[in-house]
Amino acid sequence: SQQGEEDPQALSIQEGENATMNCSYKTSINNLQWYRQNSGRGLVHLILIRSNEREKHSGRLRVTLDTSKKSSSLLITASRAADTASYFCATTQRSGGGADGLTFGKGTHLIIQP
């Protein structure tokens, strides 16, 4: 079963604009991660935010986490054509030792129009 729901399911914007994707999840989490997947390829890890963090930046990416609302957002600033891909949020539930499988949402398909 899938933990999260990304919103919107699809997003088309002009190159240079900012893109915002949202993710909601159901259970308490240890951390939340965002991944990008280009068509027919594997997932690329973008950024990880822990449950005790509220905001994190990496280059043109900004992630926020609101554990009270069980939601996260991914902002991509100054979008480029190469950002066209599907974006997934994924959560882990287990804290402490021992790895935990990621629970993914269904993804947001982002299209950047040149």
Partner 1 sequence: GAGVSQSPRYKVAKRGQDVALRCDPISGHVSLFWYQQALGQGPEFLTYFQNEAQLDKSGLPSDRFFAERPEGSVSTLKIQRTQQEDSAVYLCASSLTPDGLIGYTFGSGTRLTVV
Residues that bind partner 1 (CB under 8 A): 1-2, 4, 31, 33, 35, 40-45, 48, 50, 88, 90, 92, 96-107
Query: C-alpha angle with apex 47: 18 to 105, nearest 5 degrees?
Result: 80
Q: 9 or 18: whose CB is closer to partner 1?
A: 9
CB of 4 to partner 1, least distance (A): 8
| Distance of alpha carbon 48 from alpha carbon 33, whole angstroms | 4
CB of 107 to partner 1, least distance (A): 5
CB of 105 to partner 1, least distance (A): 5
Q: 6 or 83: whose CB is closer to partner 1?
A: 6
CB neighbours of residue 61 within 10 Å: 16
How is residue 83 annotated by DSSP? G
CB of 64 to partner 1, least distance (A): 18
Burial of 14 (0-12, 13-18, 19+ CB in 10 A): exposed
Helix (H, G, I), strand (E, B) or coil at 82: helix
Q: 51 or 67: whose CB is closer to partner 1?
A: 51
Q: 1 or 68: whose CB is closer to partner 1?
A: 1
CA 102 to chain centre: 12
